[in-house]
Structure 1
Amino acid sequence: MKGFSFLSKYSNTIHNWRLNYSTASRSSHYDIIISGGGMVGFAMACRLGRSDCLANKRILLLESSNKKQLKLDSYNLRVSALNPGSKSLLESLGAWQHIEKTRFGSVKKMQVWDACSDAAVTFGKADLSEDIAWIVENDLVQDSLMKELDKIEQVEVQYKTKVTNYRLPKNADELVQVTLEDGSCLTTDLIIGADGFNSGLRQTIKTQYISYDYNQMAVVATLRISEGDENVTAWQRFLPTGPIALLPLNNEFSSLVWSTDKITAKSLLDLPPDVFTDRINQALWNNDDRNPMVQNVSERIFQMLKVCRVNSLEGSASDIRQLPPSVVEIKGRQAAFPLGLGHAVDYISNKAVLIGDAAHRVHPLAGQGVNLGFGDVIALNDAICEAVNNGADHGSSLYLKQYQSNRQMRNLPVMASVHGLHLLYGTTWTPLVMLRSIGLNVFDSLSSVKSFFTQRASV
């Protein structure tokens, strides 16, 4: 009997150990782990958490920083120009209602012009009847997504949690292992990297990463402008040293994004507020960079187009001559961040996938960075749900490849166009300046072509 009692106790001990081990294993395993928060990471977690195809899946988002508290006493210096596709995504996630109740700037028109000539292009309806973009602070977008994430039970968010290592599986039946800074280890069927342009997951995947340093910084600030009525126009002027843009926040304030070389950027950061304001107005209004030969040819081309009535957009001729508002003062201080181009040759590996800046990084001159990232969110969610609905694993490489193909066909042309614009407007060589000035005037005269490009940029 004593022997039986000993065996019984031993058996119970083994059973309890197995039960505890099994419970611990389940608690450290997630069906999907998203590494990195930010706007794209939080949107990915929301989208997956709201997908019916993943109703019973455990999803974890790992964010290395503290949980941010939104401050509304002043405008955040980092803003995004959301296109209609991004706005629709945020609406579907419930985040846009929070933004709408808080604050955002509507863009009904965009005017882009060359500092070396009077060539310009205007986007938007002449009667300003439709919004073409929405200017929203990055922190507000993220906070709105966080509010919605708090409502989704199957999505867990861990803040102040840093990943130190990823171990990707070699076989389809193995799991991804994620090691955290505290030494704990998590496993998952699919790891999604939304950890920015210095992505640790991308480095683990060891894909070729094509990068280009623009040797530029974007100087950002919040500006009070002189606009008397509605402030609904986004202004962008291409200077030889880089583009300067004013993005409307409300009728009184606009956000500055001034891309320039690092030496100039650092000098701008050191300027007192009144001198900095003067420099902005000079950059927007000064004609010292005008090329007389180019100006003469550009003006003749413009008049020819006007006479021939090639331009079918009513009122656009007068729009070209519209001038930007004066900057009255800077609110708060200016800041800057570095600019670069980057693209991962592979967005995917075994049970691993990259989204947002982890996969691609672009110059802000066209405002497409976060819009491309939100496009990744939509496409990856669709690929995962298609896999599940067809009976495959949600980390199936077949469907991840479809995501990669879909997004690279979309992202690469946009990135190439933005990079091409940067190179084209970064020169003062007269033949190229003349060519781009003529091209810009002709492009502005073709309303159907402009509509096509506007539609392409909206999804």
Structure 2
Amino acid sequence: MAGFYMNRLFTLSKQACLTRSLRYNHSPASGHYDIIISGGGMVGFAMACSLGRNDRLKNKRILLLESSNYKELNLTAYNLRVCALNLNSKLLLESLGAWQHIVNARCSPVKKMQVWDACSDALITFGRADLSEEIAWIVENNVIQDSLMKELQHKNQVDVQYQSKVIHYRLPNHADDAVQVTLENGSHFTTDLIIGADGYNSGLRQAMKTQYITHNYNQMAVVATLRISESTENVTAWQKFLPSGPIALLPLSTGLSSLVWSTDKKLAQHLLGLPPEIFTDRINQAIWNNEDINHRAQNVTEQLFQLLKVCRINSREENETDTRQLPPSVVGIEGHQAAFPLSFGHSVKYVSPKTVLIGDAAHRIHPLAGQGVNLGFGDVAALNEVINEAIDSGSDHGNYLYLQKYQSNRQLKNLAIMAIVHGLHLLYGTKSLPHVFLRSLGLTVTDSLPSVKRLITLTASA
């Protein structure tokens, strides 16, 4: 019994140390903070870390409000939600001190990517033949968030409150007014700058009364952790464009990959109800079956490929990967499958006086290119930069003119990526012969032009 209480005391002490600023607010509280971040998650915690490391803000008080409870990281099983981080996101996490925590936990590098079309077998590959360079990193969402939380314990000016759901925002009518925030537990706070990282159903965005453009894909992403047959180094990401939506296998470890299968809601619900053995068979069928092949499109693609070889247009740079590889076979699943709905969303405005949106609160994207959290981390870096510019110019950290600069910068970049991803979704969501011809020619030609592929990689990392 004594051992039980000692272990319990150790656990509580560890949690208290990690969440130095944790307050459960059983009684109403009030106070003023220079900056309040509404919403945690990966992007919200990254924003808090970024502001907490900013020397220009070392005398400012910052509050992060997280509606959910604190959860200690459990690495027993892989989380079903993972991210494909690009280089810029990795660099940001390194600058925040979180990347080393991620490495100490677990992550998987992607050194090659192979994407192909179910209707023509046209493909494009990214990466070097000797697998010497990483092009992305697969990391579980909860690992990223926990790593950022660990860093926050060292930021004395940042307070974190869990179980703190905001139920009302009162935004300023005049330049001298503060933002007022009311929590479900009765607490009240004021702030000079409110940052909304509260997800795609953002309450702060609704309080801004800005137009929000949405599109329902009528799709769901089915996710699972897969056991694969190959015992060799698992460093390739695979994505096949099916007429019903893309299916992707992302490397987690030597014998495990993460499944992200975007498909219509009816099929998704069917897949969720399948026992593991049949679900595994359906995945292998989707990856290996050629029943959707359009032979006319395939013949044209092959002829174009041969023509490019003759013309030497497809002369690849030294060590660039140029061989089609066979994807791994799936032999089973770990745990169970799950699904989440997919949609497109974009806020016409990211900012209003003393108010700014980041991450999914400002924009939501289809996961087929894995850019969602990367766009959010880009928001974090850009907002921190304009806050620095405002302070360096002698202005307040929430100066509206500088917030508008953040909006212009991020909308330009986010909308470009979102338009491309949305266009790819429309282009690959049909068996129409003209569309199959168009996308097959595009893949084949692009795969033959190393400079264009480098540009695509750089754009995805920007």
CA distance, structure 1, for counterparts of residue 370 and residue 126 of structure 2: 14
Q: How does 1:131-146 map to 2 (within 5 A)?
A: 131-146=134-149
- Three-state SS of the structure 2 residue aligned to 1:421 is helix
Match of 1:393 in 2: 396
Distance 1:318 1:155, change over 3 A: closer
Q: 2:196 aligns with which of 190, 193, 196?
A: 193
Q: How many residues align?
A: 434
Q: Give the counterpart letter for 2:285 in structure 1.
A: Q
Match of 1:64 in 2: 67
CA distance, structure 2, for counterparts of residue 360 and residue 322 of structure 1: 35
Match of 1:219 in 2: 222
CA distance, structure 2, for counterparts of residue 366 and residue 316 of structure 1: 25
Match of 1:429 in 2: 432
Q: Give the counterpart letter for 1:235 in structure 2.
A: W
CA distance, structure 2, for counterparts of residue 180 and residue 204 of structure 1: 14
Contact 2:130 2:319 in 1 (8 A): no
Q: 1:254 aligns with which of 250, 254, 257?
A: 257
Contact 2:211 2:349 in 1 (8 A): yes
Q: 1:310 aligns with which of 313, 323, 326?
A: 313
- Output one character per residue of 1:190-246: Cα deviation in whole Å (capped at 9) or x when no partner: 000000000000000011100000000000000011123111100000000000000
Q: Give the counterpart letter for 1:193 in structure 2.
A: G
CA distance, structure 1, for counterparts of residue 52 and residue 321 of structure 2: 49
- Output one character per residue of 1:283-326: Cα deviation in whole Å (capped at 9) or x when no partner: 00000000111111111111112222212325899845211010
Q: 2:133 aligns with which of 130, 133, 136?
A: 130
CA distance, structure 2, for counterparts of residue 150 and residue 67 of structure 1: 13
Q: How does 1:78-97 map to 2 (within 5 A)?
A: 78-97=81-100
CA distance, structure 1, for counterparts of residue 320 and residue 166 of structure 2: 55
Match of 1:7 in 2: none
Contact 1:118 1:299 in 2 (8 A): no
> How much is the aligned-residue C-alpha RMSD, in angstroms?
1.2
CA distance, structure 2, for counterparts of residue 317 and residue 407 of structure 1: 32
- Three-state SS of the structure 1 residue aligned to 2:377 is helix
- Output one character per residue of 1:319-353: Cα deviation in whole Å (capped at 9) or x when no partner: 45211010111110000000000000000011000
Q: Give the counterpart letter for 2:446 in structure 1.
A: F
CA distance, structure 2, for counterparts of residue 55 and residue 316 of structure 1: 47
Are residues 1:278 and 2:281 paired?
Answer: yes
CA distance, structure 2, for counterparts of residue 458 and residue 227 of structure 1: 29
Match of 1:44 in 2: 47
Structure with max Cα Rg: 1
Match of 2:293 in 1: 290
- Three-state SS of the structure 1 residue aligned to 2:193 is strand
Q: 2:108 aligns with which of 105, 109, 134?
A: 105
Contact 1:196 1:358 in 2 (8 A): yes
- Three-state SS of the structure 1 residue aligned to 2:192 is strand
Q: How does 1:234-245 map to 2 (within 5 A)?
A: 234-245=237-248
CA distance, structure 2, for counterparts of residue 247 and residue 289 of structure 1: 23
Q: How does 1:263-412 map to 2 (within 5 A)?
A: 263-314=266-317, 319-412=322-415
CA distance, structure 1, for counterparts of residue 323 and residue 411 of structure 2: 35
CA distance, structure 1, for counterparts of residue 301 and residue 456 of structure 2: 23
Match of 2:123 in 1: 120
CA distance, structure 2, for counterparts of residue 298 and residue 125 of structure 1: 24
CA distance, structure 2, for counterparts of residue 240 and residue 316 of structure 1: 33
In structure 2, list runs of 5 or more residues that go unmatched.
Answer: 1-28
Match of 2:78 in 1: 75
Contact 2:214 2:343 in 1 (8 A): yes
CA distance, structure 2, for counterparts of residue 312 and residue 378 of structure 1: 38
Q: Give the counterpart letter for 2:38 in structure 1.
A: S
Contact 1:122 1:316 in 2 (8 A): no
CA distance, structure 2, for counterparts of residue 264 and residue 227 of structure 1: 28
- Three-state SS of the structure 2 residue aligned to 1:80 is strand
- Three-state SS of the structure 2 residue aligned to 1:43 is helix
Q: Give the counterpart letter for 1:337 in structure 2.
A: F
CA distance, structure 1, for counterparts of residue 167 and residue 342 of structure 2: 26
Q: Give the counterpart letter for 1:197 in structure 2.
A: Y
- Output one character per residue of 1:91-122: Cα deviation in whole Å (capped at 9) or x when no partner: 11111001111111110011000000110000
Match of 1:18 in 2: none
Match of 2:459 in 1: 456
Distance 1:87 1:317, change over 3 A: closer
Are residues 1:31 and 2:34 paired?
Answer: yes
Contact 1:120 1:320 in 2 (8 A): no
Taking only the aligned residue pairs, the percentage that are identical comes to 71
Q: Give the counterpart letter for 1:59 in structure 2.
A: I
Normalising by structure 2, we get a TM-score of 0.92
